[in-house]
Chains A and B, each alone.
Chain A
């Protein structure tokens, strides 16, 4: 039985979340191969070869895969899938984009966003914004799965897999990449940070997010936001934590001016320690917070920054 894991990368470095998807593959059990599909992505292949428990790295290095367009990547993965019983991708935007396409091309169901492996065909996944946890058995011969990174611990990078080039090029020719507008930040990646501080509607405007920056710098934290803060235009949407944004599970999550709607809790309630700072003592966020301060964030935040 063998498993193909799709590597998340930006053509230069392997995303750490891939190590968690490999952990899910190890839980299923079998010979694990990683696919690195991109353009000028040899450095990613070198990194992937060091991932613990991986026996082979397949490298599809071609301009057709540079932006990992779903139309092209899905054809490649579908072709390779013939040799595998399980195909896994990380449940980030790239995997979410192309994997269901692979599943449909193979005429099998996809099990999305798994947080645990029960057996080689049975998996655990949250539904209803994480308010229920379903155990699902796949009835198909091939299992197409996306893995929620917060559900698994990363594997080590002490391996030495062989690297094999994949020569076939699959270009569907029906879509092209136009441009990217990437958010640039010196701070840790939101999904990977061990501390996250997030602001909500209570921040009142985008400028006030600066109040979080000093604290984030002192703690080495990433900055997140609730949907309300994103919708109000305070911050860009790639900072959104929640059911439809990013799912985080840091050691410490500090929610500032966030009421704690179901959709936000879905993205952070698996954090180890939750701190809430809110002036409304009745806010639902206090029901999940380990420590709460009822107070005005404009008083609390400067004091917190000063005392850290």
Chain B
């Protein structure tokens, strides 16, 4: 079966972002970018399904401007077979991204779509669920185990109170949690090979999706900074401070 993996180019997870002085957004100029960590896990899971003989082809897709081809090449180096860039310079709402992905799902007819559960920039946690709604597919979100069995997929989900396993009819949507797998590193030969793998660019405007914005970013500010604390000399002082100064224990 075919597996489709949508991925996103985001700020590297180790970078501490700065808010622009005019409070219009965060400053991404000259900041290190990478594949969203959850998307990397999605690619790894798809590649493992291929290695296990369950998947026959892994297609990666990204919605974004030209530089997101870097992340698509990385995904190809990790083992994906071919890539699609839906080209747009706009920062799109999750719903519009889901609608663009819906077009690719209709075109490619994958049996499984694996996405990250959230991107670490917008922290929305929406796209997979929205794509599931638009395509009418069932969804296994926050997955820590994925098992394809015949025409169904069993997904163990990380929920507030522990784990929940659901059985979904294929085709289905899965979104990855951190514990689904540990992504591999791309080897140099695979990085070289990835350069020759097919990467198709489709302008977003050609897909017939209304991309008008659904929300407006009014402003972005830095969070309130915490007042500097103190280092105490030992447990006695700590307990005294918590009781009498902070009054959080009695």
A243–B123 touching, CB < 8 Å:
yes
Q: Is the CB of A127 within 8 A of B130?
A: no
Is the pair A293, B126 in contact by a Cβ cutoff of 8 Å? no
In the complex, whether A79 has a CB less than 8 A from a CB of chain B is no
Task: Assess whether A273 is in contact with B248, with CB atoms less than 8 Å apart.
Answer: yes
> Looking across the interface, which residue of chain A has its beta carbon closest to that of B225?
A288
Contact of B162 among A139, A180, A288 (CB under 8 A): A180
Docked-complex contact A132 and B249, CB < 8 angstroms = no
B248/A109 in contact, CB under 8 A: no
Binds A, one of B45-53, B66-74, B139-147: B139-147
Other-chain residue from A97, A181, A231 in contact with B178 (beta carbon distance below 8 A): A231
Q: Are A195 and B235 in contact (CB under 8 A)?
A: no
CA distance A74 to B246 in the complex (A): 44
Render B106-139 as a binary contact track against A, CB cut-off 8 A, 1 for contact.
Answer: 0000000000011011111111111111101111
Residues of B contacting A131 in the complex (Cβ-Cβ under 8 angstroms)? 16-17, 26, 222-223
A275 touches B242 (CB 8 A): yes
Q: Are the C-beta atoms of A137 and B238 separated by less than 8 Å?
A: no
Given contacts A109-B94, A177-B164, contact A101 B249 (CB under 8 A): no
| Stretch in B76-84, B153-161, B187-195 with 4+ CB within 8 Å of A | B153-161
Whether A136 lies near B215 (C-beta < 8 A) is: yes
> Is A80 in the interface zone, CB < 8 Å from B?
no
Kindly identify which residue among A130, A135, A272 contacts B223, using a CB–CB cutoff of 8 Å: A130
CB distance from A33 to the nearest CB of B (A): 23
Q: CB distance B117 to A244 under 8 Å?
A: yes
In the bound assembly, the distance between CA atoms of A74 and B219 in angstroms comes to 31
Which residues of B are found within 8 Å of A112, using beta-carbon distances? 123-126
| Interface SS of A by simple majority | mixed
Q: Does B177 contact A (CB under 8 A)?
A: yes
Contact of A275 with B238 in the complex, beta carbons under 8 Å: yes
Chain A residues in 8 Å Cβ range of B95: 103-104, 107-110
- Residues of chain B within 8 A of A10, CB atoms compared: 161
Say yes or no: B17 contacts A181, CB within 8 Å. Answer: no
Chain A residues near B196: list those with CB within 8 A: none
B160 touches A92 (CB 8 A): yes
**Shortest Cβ distance from residue B126 to the other chain A in the assembled complex, whole angstroms:** 4
Q: Is A129 an interface residue (CB 8 A)?
A: yes
Does B244 belong to the interface (CB within 8 Å)? no
- The answer on a CB contact under 8 Å between B160 and A238 is yes
User: Considering the complex, which residues of chain A in the window 212-257 have a beta carbon less than 8 Å from any beta carbon of chain B?
Assistant: 219, 227, 230-231, 236-238, 243-244, 246, 251-252
With contacts A93-B159, A129-B123, A262-B16 known, is A103 near B215, CB below 8 A?
A: no
Question: Which of B138, B221, B228 is within 8 Å of A175, CB to CB?
Answer: B138
Which B-chain residue is minimally distant from A15 (CB atoms)? B160
Q: Is A89 an interface residue (CB 8 A)?
A: no
User: Contact at B133–A111, with CB atoms within 8 Å?
Assistant: no
* B229 & A290 in contact (Cβ 8 Å cutoff): yes
Interface string of B86-110 (1 = CB under 8 A from A): 0000000111001000000000000
The segment out of A20-28, A34-42, A53-61, A65-73 that lies at the interface is A65-73
A183 and B129: CB pair below 8 A?
Answer: no
Q: A109-B93, A127-B123 are in contact. Are A137 and B216 (CB under 8 A)?
A: yes
Instruction: Tell which of B26, B166, B226, B231 touches A69, judged by Cβ atoms closer than 8 Å.
Output: B166
Q: How far is the CA of A70 from the CA of B172 in the complex (A)?
A: 13
A246 touches B160 (CB 8 A): yes
Max chain A CB contacts within 10 Å: which of B38, B165, B166? B166
| A97 and chain B: residue at smallest CB distance | B141
Given contacts A182-B162, A252-B246, A292-B231, whether A172 and B236 have CB atoms under 8 Å apart is: no
Does B179 interact with chain A (Cβ within 8 Å)? yes
Residues of the B chain whose Cβ atoms lie less than 8 Å from the Cβ of A281: 231
Kindly identify which residue among A96, A138, A177 contacts B125, using a CB–CB cutoff of 8 Å. Answer: A96
Q: A178-B154, A307-B239 are in contact. Are A183 and B220 (CB under 8 A)?
A: no
Q: Give the shortest distance, in Å, between A122 (CB) and chain B (any CB).
A: 7
Q: B198 contacts the other chain (Cβ, under 8 Å)?
A: no
> What residues of A have a CB within 8 angstroms of the CB of B130 in the complex?
100-101, 103-104, 110
CB contact list, A72-101 vs B, under 8 A: 74, 92-94, 96-101
Asked if residues B216 and A136 are in contact (CB atoms below 8 Å), the reply is yes
B229 touches A128 (CB 8 A): no
The yes or no answer to B11 lying at the interface (CB within 8 A) is yes
* Chain B contacts to A: CB under 8 angstroms: 11, 13-14, 16-17, 19, 26, 38, 93-95, 98, 117-118, 120-134, 136-139, 141-142, 144, 154, 157-169, 177-179, 213-223, 226-232, 234-236, 238-239, 241-242, 246, 248-249
By Cβ-Cβ distance, the 3 closest A-B pairs, closest first, are A109-B214, A100-B129, A104-B133
The 26 listed contacts between A and B (C-beta, < 8 Å) are A71-B138, A94-B159, A96-B142, A97-B142, A104-B95, A113-B123, A126-B123, A128-B123, A131-B16, A132-B26, A134-B219, A135-B219, A139-B216, A172-B138, A175-B138, A177-B166, A180-B162, A181-B165, A236-B162, A243-B123, A269-B223, A291-B231, A291-B242, A292-B231, A293-B232, A304-B238
Q: Given A181-B163, A291-B232, A291-B242, list of 7 further CB < 8 A pairs? A: A71-B139, A93-B160, A96-B141, A96-B142, A262-B13, A291-B241, A293-B234
